[in-house]
Amino acid sequence: MSREDLAGLVFQGIEEFVADLDAEIGPSDAEWGPFRYLRDPISDPRFSTPVTLSVPNAWWARNTWVEPFRIEFDSISEAAKALRAVQRNWAPCLFTQFRRGELIKERLPPISAKPKPFPFELPETPMGAWTLLDEHTMIASATCSSPFPGGIVEFEEDKVNPPSRAYLKLREALVRARRFPDPGESCIDAGASPGGWTWVLAGLGTRVLAVDRAELDPRIAAMPGVEYRRHDAFTLKPEDFGRQDWVFSDVICYPQRLYEWVSLWLESGLCEKFICTIKIQGEPDWAAIRLFDAIPGGSVVHLHNNKHELTWIRV
C-alpha cells in the first residue's frame, strides 16, 4: 500500500450541474467522474472563502475536499485500515466500483443513514469523504467543507403539513448555519407563497411576516405568529418593515434584483441575519453571485436540497 498527499483541492461535483462547476473553476488538473482536482487553487481569486474554512470553495460543488490524498491498495481490508488510521468518520462518495466500495464501507465504523429530525445540532467531529477511482486506487480527504456525509443531508419528511417541499431547503440552511431563530424573534419571509418557509419558521415559534403577491396556504396563514401581507416584497423598503431579527427570501427573481434588495437591508442596519435563495435562470449570473460572495460574514453554497439555484447565508 502507498499513500500520496495531493496539494490543492478536490471539488465533488453535483451530477446535474457539473457543467456549472466546470464553468466556474475552469480547466482542472484531473477529472474523475463528477470530481475535479485543482493542484494549487488556494490563492486563486475565482474561489470564495467559506466562514468555516480558510480555504477556497466552489459554489457549484457538493463538497470541497480540503486535504486530499491518494491511496494505492491491494485489498479491501487494507483500504479500510488506511482510512481508520486517519480518523473515525468516513462517508463514501462512489461513482464507480460500487460493489467494491460497499465492501470497504462495511469495514469502517458505521455512519447513520437515517433521516434527521429538525432541528438538530451538527456534531463537531470531522466527517471525511472517499471515493474509488478503480479497483486499487482511492481518493480521500479527512477535512471537507460540508458538515454532512458526502455533502448530503436527508430530513424526516412531513408529507402532510408543509404546502411544498421547499421547506427542506430552509431546514438544511439553518442546520448548516448552526443557528436557529429563537421563539418570539421577528422574521420576514419574502416570496412566501405557498408557505413552506413560513411553516418552518412558525414551527420554531417565531413571529413571521409572510410577503407575496400570491396567496398563502390558508393552513399556514392560520398558524400562530403568522401575518400575511399581499405585496411584492422587493417594492418595500427595510424602513417599511422596521427592525427584524431575520430576513428570508425564496423569491423567484434575477440575482441582481435580489442583491439590490439585500443591499438596502445591509445599508439600513435593520437586520443582520439572512438566508436567501439565488435563483439561476439559464446561464449563471457569475457577476451577481460574486457580489453576494463578497458580502462580509456571508457565504454562497449549493445546498443538497437546492435545484438550479444557490443559497446565500449570513448569520
Cα 106 to Cα 121: distance, rounded to the nearest angstrom: 26
Residue 249, SS3 per DSSP: strand
According to DSSP, the β-strands at 128-134 and 30-32 are unpaired
- E-state strands within the chain: 2-5, 9-13, 30-32, 35-38, 61-65, 68-72, 90-92, 128-134, 137-141, 186-190, 207-212, 226-230, 246-249, 273-279, 299-301, 309-314
According to DSSP, the β-strands at 273-279 and 246-249 are parallel
Enclosing H/E stretch for 125: none
Q: In this structure, what DSSP letter does residue 110 have?
A: -
List, by residue number, the catalytic residues: 279
Q: Do 144 and 129 meet the contact criterion of CB atoms below 8 Å apart?
A: yes
Burial 39-57 (b: 16+ CB within 10 A, else e): eebeeeeebbebeeeebbb
Q: In this structure, what DSSP letter does residue 113 have?
A: -
Cα 266 to Cα 260: distance, rounded to the nearest angstrom: 10
Q: Do 312 and 298 meet the contact criterion of CB atoms below 8 Å apart?
A: yes
Return phi, psi of residue 9, to 5°: -135, 150
